[in-house]
Amino acid sequence: MARYDFDLFVIGAGSGGVRASRMSAGYGARVAVAEQAALGGTCVNVGCIPKKLMVYASMFREEWEDAAGFGWTAPEPSHSFAQLIANKDKEIARLNGIYGRLLDQAGVTRLEGRARVVDAHRVAVGNESWSAEHILVATGGWPWMPAIPGIEHAITSNEAFHLTSLPERVLIVGGGYIAVEFAGIFHGLGAQVTQLYRGDLFLRGFDDDVRSTLAEMMRKGGIDLRFGVNPTSIEKASDGALRATLADGTRLEADAILYATGRAPRTAELGLEQAKVELGPSGQVAVDDYSRSSVPSIYAIGDVTDRVNLTPVAIHEGMCLAATLFGGKPTKVDHAHVPHAVFSQPPVAAVGLNEAGARATHGEIDIYRSRFRELKHTLSGRDQQAMMKLVVDPKTDRVLGAHMVGNYAGEIIQGVAVAIRCGATKAQFDATLGIHPTSAEEFVTMRTKA
């Protein structure tokens, strides 16, 4: 008779939790997964997928404006925000169903409800509890907002995906990728957008040339971008308008105020403290290279660990965990050379070290940088430029990082990431023939050091 009800009990059916569940079951483990909301977690329901769909929707206005330069004429387009949300919801429901079928086909037991850790080997869901040899916490993160007066009038990205109509004036607070992306979404759909960030320049952690170039392009596109400012209070007027007072006394009026000021690991009321699981200062589960917590039988992956908070990383961590526990192949998580993108307008993507990071770790480095008007805009007339950059170690000639602002940045950097992962040198980049005419060819034609 089995000692435990399950070999693995997973709390959270997001991207990481689902992948860990399926892979572990594929190795023959008895797996249960508990989820209190829709399957797929943040990415599927209020993150990557619906956000990218809304980015696509918001790009059509710019495409329509650019069409005149290519000889197209058409009446002013109209847009149904309600139809967009309805179509988005339909697609998300379809994906929820796919996730459920994948778990069922893998033989994973699905439980609905909020789970909590009772002890090192027991999990409760509602009034029932189950024992497990291993417990995996994959509960992700949750939007965080500061406790300023009137903050209850603001929304987060969670609610932004379910608005019933498009606000005419949107105030966005924050400087991370979520804030930047929603600024482009609302602006592209026709709203008047102001974005505030308390720091000197947004997208902290990205290369400085990327940050400054994107800020310039967003401003040229019509977004009111303000740095070094932060709201101190929000009030709702009798006519329904929202008024934000800034630290310098300035007052801004909007129909919606979106806070994208970060996400916190979702560990509250999970019972982790009672189980003696060590948590970090922001509530994240502290784990080792194998995603094991301070309690040997309890593991954690994804945003709840606050390591590299990206969907593909959570999936990678889930696969490593399954191989470690049930595949007979202990596998450390590898967070090196993780490519990442911001679906801003224009988009941003990068892989490897930025210039500041490379200087800190390698000392002397070579920089190759190109900024140019993309071919499309020679006829569209749009005042927008692309920027591409390579960071190179002169001692080994190895390319340490690649960065881009411009159309299709995410698609282009994905391929470049393979080369950097394989340790490609600048000479190998130079020896590679470009595809002409494309923006991507710039990565293999840059010859002059900046």
Please identify every residue annotated as catalytic.
436
Q: At what angle do helices 311-326 and 15-26 cross, to 10 degrees?
A: 30
- The Cα–Cα gap between 276 and 278 comes to 6
C-alpha of 276 from chain center: 30
Helix (H) or strand (E) holding 129: strand 128-137
The sign of the dihedral angle between the CA atoms of 59, 65, 70, 72 is positive
- The Cα–Cα gap between 5 and 132 comes to 6
Is residue 251 packed enough to be buried (19+ CB in 10 Å), middle (13-18) or exposed (0-12)? exposed
Cis peptide before 437 (omega within 30 of 0): yes
Helix (H) or strand (E) holding 257: strand 256-259
Pairing of β 122-125 and β 128-137: antiparallel
- The Cα–Cα gap between 284 and 270 comes to 12
Give the angle 22-26-30 at the CA atoms, nearest 5°. 80
- In which order are the strands placed within the sheet that holds 242-246? 231-236, 242-246, 251-254
68: left (phi over 0), alpha (psi -120 to 50) or beta: alpha
Cis peptide before 281 (omega within 30 of 0): no
Backbone angles phi, psi at 421, to 5 degrees: -60, -35
DSSP 210-250: HHHHHHHHHHHHT-EEEES--EEEEEE-TTS-EEEEETTS-
